[in-house]
Structures are given as C-alpha cells and as structure tokens.
Amino acid sequence: MTPAETIEVPARSGKAVKLRAGWSVKLINTLGSQVVDTWAFNANDLAEHMSMEHTRVMLGRLNPRKGDQLFSSRRRPLLKMTEDTSPGVHDTLRAACDPVRYKLLGHENHASCAENLSAALLALGLRAPHSPCPLNMFENCPVGEGGKLVVVPPPVKAGNYVVLTAEVDTVVVFSACPMDIFPTNGPDCKPKPVAYQVLQS
C-alpha cells in the first residue's frame, strides 16, 4: 500500500475530503491544542448531514468516544470514530464561529469556521443546503454548575490524532478553528495548522 499523503489544513482555514465507504481519514493535531470543527455529509445527497442532536440521542451520551458511530440527520451512521489518541475531549454543543459572532466580539473581517465550511465545499464544486452544527473535535467545553458552558484550553498534545472511518460514501470537512479571542485553541489564543491523511481500505 502506498504511504498516505499528509495534507496540511493551514491555520484558520478549511479543507473538504471525499471518502468512499470503508475509507478512513486520520486527523492529526500537528502542534497540539487546536480545535477542528468537523462536518460530514452523505456524498450522494448533501441534505443528509452528520447531526449532533441525532448522534446524542442514538449514543445516549453528550459526546462521542472511540468506537462510536456518528449519525446523520436521518439517523444513519455516516462515520465511525475508530481511533482516538487524544484524551477524548470533543464538543457537540457549540455552533461554528461565523462573521456575526466575531462582529459581536468587536472583530470585523475575521476568518470563521462557517465560512471555511462553505469555501472548502465550494473547492470541490459542492454546496450544503445549510450549515449544520459541527462536531468540534478536541474542543473542551465542560458542562458546569447549572449548565454553565465555558470553553477552556484543550488537553491535546502535538501529534494526537483521531481516525474517522466512512460507513457510506461521505464528504468530510475540517476547519482549523480561527478563534483567537478566547483560549479555545490553547492558552496562547493562537490558531494553528492541523493535517490529515486519507487511508484507503
């Protein structure tokens, strides 16, 4: 088997990748501490998307772990989290950052995960009918007293990785989150690149 090519997702940007059923994608947290907003769509019908609200019900748990399937808006498994060398802290609760969020925080013309989703799909000639809630890989947003939600730095080390295996033909989108106002991406508030490899079965 040919060694898998490592493709960088530069800091603040996104990439979309097509996976055939049975293929996997290895998402590498190159420098550690970087959150990666992740979406998945049925490659044959982008209206069917990985859905956090359906996945939570199907798993009976707030967040997916290694071995869990990730379900679509039609309750079908799209992906399976087959490997996870990170501490397994991921978030399903938070919308992707977008231009309105940064504007409300006083920043105009700031890169965002929502724009990265659109741009990454467009680079493959694709467009999603809407912007679903992402699986925020490596994001650390514990549920505190009274349901309080505060994002704190992720406990992810350089080189930690997650492998997602496609259960059906799937388009996966990664966005290296551009958040630099809160410590979403580490105490230095500095967005970093990540990388991925496609592993064909």
Closer of 105 and 189 to a second copy (Cβ):
105
List the one residue from 10, 20, 45, 61 that touches a second copy (CB under 8 A).
61
Q: Which of 18, 66, 101, 107 binds a second copy (CB under 8 A)?
A: 101
Q: For a second copy, what does the binding mask look like between residues 79 and 98, x meaning CB under 8 A?
A: --------------xxx--x
What CA–CA distance (Å, rounded) separates 185 from 137? 11
Burial class of residue 169, CB neighbours in 10 A (0-12, 13-18, 19+) = middle
Closer residue to a second copy, CB minimum distance, 133 or 173 = 133
Residue 105 binding a second copy, by CB under 8 A: no
Nearest to 154 by CA among 114, 98, 94: 94
* Segment lying near a second copy (by CB under 8 A), choices 4-12, 61-69, 105-113, 164-172: 61-69
47 backbone dihedrals φ, ψ, rounded to 5°: -70, -20
Are the C-beta atoms of 77 and 67 separated by less than 8 Å? no
Stretch that binds a second copy, among 3-11, 143-151, 165-173, 184-192 (CB under 8 A): 143-151
How many residues lie near a second copy (CB under 8 A)? Answer: 31
Residues 6+ apart with CB under 8 A from 185: 33, 34, 35, 153, 154, 177, 179, 191, 192
Q: What is d(CA 14, CA 20) in angstroms, rounded to the nearest whole number?
A: 20
Interface stretch with a second copy, choices 12-20, 22-30, 35-43, 71-79 (CB under 8 A): 71-79
- Least separation, in Å, of the C-beta of 8 and a second copy? 28
Q: Does 16 bind a second copy (CB under 8 A)?
A: no
Do β-strands 36-42 and 24-28 pair in parallel, antiparallel, or remain unpaired? unpaired
* Contact by Cβ (8 Å): 172, 16: yes
Query: Quick one: which segment of 14-22, 28-36, 99-107, 154-162 binds a second copy (CB under 8 A)?
Result: 99-107
Q: Nearest to residue 124, comparing CAs of 19, 4, 31, 51?
A: 19
Site for a second copy, residues 150 to 179, rule: CB under 8 A: 150
**Which residues bind to a second copy, rule: CB under 8 A?**
47, 51-54, 56-57, 60-63, 73-75, 93-95, 98, 100-101, 104, 129-131, 133, 143, 146-150
